[in-house]
Amino acid sequence: MSIVYKADPVRGKRWQALLAGKAPERRLHLWPEYGDPAAVRYLVAWQPPEHVMACFPNLQVLFSTGAGVDQLDLDRIPAELPVVRMIDPGLTQGMVEYVVLAVLALQRDMPAYLSQQRAGVWQPLAQRPAARTRVGVMGVGELGRSVLERLACFGFACEGWNRSPKQMDGVPVSSGDQALDAFLARTDILICLLPLTPATRGLLNTTLFDQLPRGAAVVNVARGPQLVIDDLLAALDRGQLGGAVLDVVDPEPLPADHPLWTHPRVWLTPHVASATQPETALDALLANIERFEHGEPMQGEVDRSRGY
């Protein structure tokens, strides 16, 4: 039986070399090479081939190489084929680094200082201590929880908001649509770590921005279509928002003349907040395959009714 990897070929070579060292009894093929299609049991892919079961008639699990599965058309993947998203400590660490960087930069007014530097201005700005900076994370899942834990260490006044109730030591988490307005009203720096679903598409819009305290900042590290860019630009221009850090936008990349490229209060990165790290992700994959083969639930199995 074999595993096929169908995503970035350079990373695929790392997966292959690591697997040869850690589990030499298992064989990993790099798409488009896959040997005997009937022997393929596991597909590790960003996008499966069209008609995946016709391609691999004995496929048992589809593993997404990414934490999200919004790139997949779940309606076209047979209902009996389990789909598993990536839960990788290396990916989580990368996201924590990015969000900590963004929050500290916003709290310490780095976008404004960069503008001042370019203009040759030497002017200290009023500084707000971490303890008086309220950081709110939407989506207290694998990534949101780790981000909150780490930000709390800096002394930020942290809070999470989530679909279902969640418990965290020392960090309050509110839940449900009825709690959203109050959560937003006490958030100075808002971080979106929600999966892209019909419920979260377009959620970062004028209505939401207007519920934040005036001058609040937004960090979107989830998916571009969750943010209505025109609403963001309008909120920045009328001062309702003080800044934004965007790792994801829609479309990616933005057109060359898009105002976000040059907006003085926007930091833009090309969807690099975090990536799956083969060194740690392979262990997670092998552990899930072991669980599957022992009839145990896998970590990160997608609930198709929820879409994530």
Q: How far is CA 111 from CA 37, 104, 260, 267, 268, in A?
A: 52, 11, 14, 7, 11
245 strand-pairing partners: 219, 267
Nearer to ligand NDP, 59 or 208 (CB): 208
DSSP string computed for 76-119: GS-TTS-EE----HHHHHHHHHHHHHHHHHHHTTHHHHHHHHHT
**CA-to-CA distance for 27 and 45, rounded, in angstroms?**
16
Of the candidates 223, 238, 265, 306, the residue annotated as catalytic is 223
Among 23, 168, 199, 260, the residue binding ligand NDP under the rule CB under 6 A is: 199
- Give catalytic status of residue 263 as yes or no: no
Nearer to ligand NDP, 40 or 208 (CB): 208
Query: Within positions 78 to 107, which residues make up the interface with ligand NDP, using CB under 6 A?
Result: 91, 95
Helices 142-153, 89-107: axis angle to 10 degrees equals: 50
Considering the complex, what minimum distance in angstroms separates the CB of residue 141 from ligand NDP? Answer: 2
Nearer to ligand NDP, 67 or 236 (CB): 67
Stretch of residues binding ligand NDP (CB under 6 A), selected from 11-19, 110-118, 190-198, 207-215: 190-198
- Give catalytic status of residue 223 as yes or no: yes
Among 164, 167, 262, 305, the residue binding ligand NDP under the rule CB under 6 A is: 164
Residue nearest to ligand NDP (CB): 141
Of the candidates 27, 265, 271, 304, the residue annotated as catalytic is 271
Burial of 179 (0-12, 13-18, 19+ CB in 10 A): middle
What residues act catalytically? 223, 271
